[in-house]
């Protein structure tokens, strides 16, 4: 089919062009600013791939090795670029393989538009070959989904999909397109982006009354404490947040998805919250008088036991999602709205202050934590290396400028605790769902989303083996991803829990691994294994200076634990240092 591509996106008002649903889709993606698509073809999405053949110059398609890899790559792309990640998959098994990534993106508020092929409309509901009820399967794990059975719907539906995915609290959207709609020709009158849906309120209107009430609480506080999450980053409110923090003088701690919203070494950045967070922020949560939560949702990994969480504090909660207010922690003053709008109003309404004694309390706890945990972790005397010292060395070489993509487990907590983040959008991890296998494909996407930055994936030996087929994607696309496998020959986090809570009954956590370096070599990716501390700096330098991807396997202590730790079912002030 011949199509005058140049004229499609902006035809004259009365001009229409006959195109297929597939071409309309690709034109819509281009109009939305899509440059990269992660995907995997199959029978039910073949017409779209056929059309894509002619769009090589405008759309960069990355052929992944598994649809789960495709969607995690889309997530990594979205998280570093701030744009909407786009993923293609075919019907049936292709679509169901997206489900883990959709759930991950939903809980971590990652904007995605996933396009799945579907069987011909006349076959729907007949158990046709590779037919699954994708809409119903994905309903609980999408912000919105829709099945297209007629090509004429495509421009409007894609416009809605992008608008919904990126606006308000972002999230994943899935559009299922039947094969007949992909093939069907229709009069395409150009693409019109969407900026309003009658039934959809992306963000609540800011009420100045609540800003005033929040400011009064903050101005009268003796020991106020800021908790910030990814909402600051998703709202592109880093500058507004920094201004608020600095004028208020209040100590601020982060959730793992909030890491990097202000630089790690900012004097008021007092560390990480939650189960493996820092000592001071956890203990002092139960000591502060006003808790200011910004773009965070009081996940149970942050709060520990809710009935013993910050009961003494008045709570100011800034969030764009009305459903988050009072969901877990009852707020005294809710500041509903986009924090990019609410923070400047709040900053203007508060007095400039400093809390030297209160801040010193955090520093006292930091000293205790350094003595009990951090010093030994970063400067071990054992012959075997620790995860922490690897992260520390990596930090020093990359000067806190790298994008760190982590998988899930002990290494994730260690990386989040010890990595330096000088810039926003530098910490890409699976926070809410805790998806093992996330990091390798997400790092591929992260590099496409931030092509000028160094991307380092930190992965455990367990998680790596869940999606290691994506080495093939690296090989074929030539993407430059540095991979560090921290190999402790265990499923370390589960083993830690078994040690602490199950009397060292190490049930099925002793995992064997292949020769990772040889595996990388099979994909023509250079690599190296080290198990001697003396080689660490050289090996990290070699990895970072080698053009293209590189896999570095570091053998680390087998039975090392991540501390501090708030045990399950305990209050944040019961955090353990050992």
Q: What residue ranges bind another protein (CB under 8 A)?
A: 135-136, 139-140, 143-147, 164, 195-201, 204-205, 207, 210, 307, 321-323, 325-327, 334, 336
Give me the catalytic one of 1, 15, 129, 353. 129
172 contacts 114 by C-beta, under 8 angstroms: yes
- Smallest distance, Å, CB 178 to another protein? 14
Q: How far apart are CA 398 and CA 406, in angstroms?
A: 16
Decide if 422 contacts 53 (C-beta within 8 A). no
Distance CA 462, CA 490 (A): 7
User: At closest approach, how far in Å is the CB of 142 from another protein?
Assistant: 9
Write down the least CB distance from residue 91 to another protein, Å: 17
The residue (of 206 and 378) whose beta carbon lies closer to another protein is 206
Q: Is 367 designated active site?
A: no
Q: How far is the CB of 320 from another protein (least distance, A)?
A: 11
Q: Is 296 a catalytic residue?
A: no
What is the DSSP secondary structure assignment for residue 487, as one 8-state letter?
Answer: E
Q: How far is the CB of 226 from another protein (least distance, A)?
A: 22
Structural contact between residues 66 and 93, judged by C-beta atoms closer than 8 angstroms: no
Dmax over CA atoms of the chain, in Å, equals: 76
Which of 404-425 are b and which e, b meaning 16 or more Cβ less than 10 Å from the residue's Cβ?
A: bbbbbbbbbbbbbbbbbbeebb
Catalytic residue among 130, 368, 469, 476: 130
- Minimum separation from the CB atom of position 313 to another protein (A): 16
Phi and psi, residue 452, nearest 5°: -90, 0
Cα gap 347→217, rounded to integer Å: 13
CA–CA dist 540, 519 (Å, integer): 19
Residue 272 appears among annotated catalytic residues: no
Q: Are strands 333-336 and 314-319 parallel, antiparallel or unpaired?
A: parallel
Q: Which of 143, 179, 203, 340 is catalytic?
A: 179
Tell me, yes or no, if 67 is annotated catalytic. Answer: yes
35: Cβ contacts below 8 Å, ≥ 6 apart = 59, 60
Distance CA 383, CA 463 (A): 25
Could you tell me which of 194, 132, 125 has the C-alpha nearest to residue 161? 194
Assess whether 565 carries a catalytic annotation.
no
Closest separation in Å from C-beta 203 to another protein: 10
Question: How many angstroms separate the CA atoms of 72 and 94, rounded?
Answer: 14
Please list the active-site residues: 67, 129-130, 179, 493
């Amino acid at each position: 089919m011949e199509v005058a591509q140049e004229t499609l996106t902006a035809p004259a008002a009365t001009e229409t062009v006959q195109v297929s649903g597939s071409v309309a889709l690709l034109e819509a993606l281009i109009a939305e600013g899509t440059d990269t698509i992660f995907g995997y073809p199959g029978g039910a999405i073949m017409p779209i791939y056929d059309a894509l053949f002619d769009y090589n110059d405008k759309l960069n398609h990355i052929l992944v090795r598994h649809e789960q890899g495709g969607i995690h790559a889309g997530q990594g792309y979205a998280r570093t670029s701030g744009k909407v990640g786009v993923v293609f998959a075919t019907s049936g098994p292709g679509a169901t393989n997206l489900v883990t990534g959709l759930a991950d993106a939903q809980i971590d508020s990652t904007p995605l538009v996933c396009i799945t092929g579907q069987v011909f409309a006349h076959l729907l509901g007949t158990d046709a070959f590779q037919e699954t009820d994708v809409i119903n399967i994905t309903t609980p794990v999408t912000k919105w989904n829709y099945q297209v059975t007629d090509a004429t719907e495509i421009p409007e539906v894609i416009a809605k999909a992008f608008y919904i995915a990126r606006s308000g609290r972002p999230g994943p959207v899935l559009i299922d397109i039947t094969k007949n709609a992909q093939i069907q020709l229709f009069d395409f009158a150009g693409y019109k982006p969407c900026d309003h849906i009658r039934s959809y309120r992306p963000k609540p209107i800011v009420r100045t009354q609540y800003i005033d009430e929040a400011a009064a609480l903050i101005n009268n506080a003796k020991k106020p404490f800021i908790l910030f999450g990814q909402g600051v980053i998703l709202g592109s409110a880093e500058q507004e947040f920094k201004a608020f923090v600095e004028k208020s003088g209040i100590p601020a701690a982060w959730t793992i998805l909030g890491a990097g919203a202000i630089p790690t070494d900012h004097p008021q950045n007092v560390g990480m919250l939650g189960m493996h967070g820092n000592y001071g922020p956890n203990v002092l949560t139960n000591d502060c008088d006003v808790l200011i939560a910004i773009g965070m949702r009081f996940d149970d990994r942050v709060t520990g036991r809710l009935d013993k969480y910050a009961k003494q504090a008045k709570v100011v909660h800034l969030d764009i999602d009305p459903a988050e207010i009072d969901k877990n922690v009852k707020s005294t003053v809710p500041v509903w709205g986009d924090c990019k709008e609410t923070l400047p109003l709040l900053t203007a309404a508060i007095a400039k202050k400093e809390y030297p004694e209160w801040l010193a309390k955090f520093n006292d706890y930091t000293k205790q934590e350094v003595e009990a945990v951090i010093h030994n972790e970063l400067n071990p005397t054992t012959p075997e290396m620790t995860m922490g010292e690897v992260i520390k060395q990596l930090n020093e070489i990359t000067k806190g400028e790298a994008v760190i993509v982590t998988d899930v487990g002990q290494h994730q907590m260690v990386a989040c605790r010890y990595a330096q983040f000088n810039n926003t959008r530098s910490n890409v991890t699976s926070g809410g769902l805790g998806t093992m296998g996330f990091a390798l494909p997400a790092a591929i996407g992260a590099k496409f989303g931030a092509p000028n930055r160094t991307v380092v994936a930190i992965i455990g030996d367990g998680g790596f083996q869940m999606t290691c087929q994506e080495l093939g994607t690296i090989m074929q696309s030539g993407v430059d991803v540095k991979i560090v496998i921290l190999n402790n020959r265990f499923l370390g986090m589960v083993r830690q829990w078994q040690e602490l809570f199950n009397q060292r009954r190490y049930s099925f956590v002793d995992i064997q691994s292949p020769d990772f370096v040889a595996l990388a070599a099979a994909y023509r990716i250079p690599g190296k294994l080290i198990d001697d501390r003396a080689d660490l700096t050289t090996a990290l330098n070699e990895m970072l200076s080698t053009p293209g991807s590189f896999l570095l396997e570091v053998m680390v202590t087998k039975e090392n634990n991540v501390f501090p730790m708030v045990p399950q079912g305990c209050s944040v002030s019961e955090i353990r240092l050992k």
